[in-house]
Structures are given as structure tokens and as C-alpha cells.
């Protein structure tokens, strides 16, 4: 019996559609990436949903800049 790998492409499309809706009302193009990163950070499997742990997981090689970007998300 073979196991099928889950197809996450549909979930990726749904997430992007959700993020597109959020960022559409953001009011300024500079807010798009921070809002997307913050939303993705909230979905990470980490215990603390604060900016510092999210930044460490989203950009391990550039934590300081990601931290600042997440803080200025809106």
C-alpha cells in the first residue's frame, strides 16, 4: 500500500487569497509584506505568538530587520 503525499497547493492558494484580501485594504503598498509576514507568523507552530519568536522563525538570518518589519506592520 502506498501513501499519497498531501497536496498543499490548494491551501497555499487559499492563504494567498486571504492575504491578498488583507493587504488590499492596507492602504499603502509598503504595508503588504509586513502584513503578510505577521499573518504567517501567527500561524507558526510556536508557543509564544510575539514578534521576536516569529521574526526568528521567519528570517533566521535577518532577525533584527524582520523584527522591525513585524513591529511596523500597520
How much is the pLDDT for 2? 58
Query: What cell numbers appear for 52 in the block?
Result: 521576536
The predicted pLDDT at position 64 comes to 94
Report the candidate in 36, 35, 53 with the shortest Cα–Cα distance to residue 44.
53
Closest to 33 measured CA to CA, from 44, 46, 42, 20: 20
* pLDDT digits 0-9 by tens, 41-74: 998 999 888 999 999 999 999 999 999 988 876 5
Q: For the CA atoms of 72, 32, 58, 7, what is the dihedral angle to 10 degrees?
A: 150
Work out the average pLDDT over 5-28: 84
**Helix runs in the chain, H state only:** 9-24, 32-42, 51-58, 63-71
pLDDT at 5: 66
Amino acid at each position: 500500500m502506498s501513501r499519497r503525499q498531501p497536496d498543499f497547493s490548494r491551501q497555499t492558494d487559499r492563504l494567498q487569497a486571504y492575504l491578498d484580501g488583507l493587504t488590499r485594504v492596507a492602504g499603502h503598498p509598503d504595508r503588504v509584506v509586513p502584513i503578510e509576514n505577521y499573518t504567517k507568523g501567527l500561524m507558526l507552530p510556536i508557543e509564544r505568538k510575539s514578534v521576536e519568536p516569529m521574526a526568528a522563525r521567519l528570517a533566521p538570518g535577518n532577525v533584527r530587520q524582520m523584527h522591525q518589519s513585524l513591529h511596523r506592520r500597520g
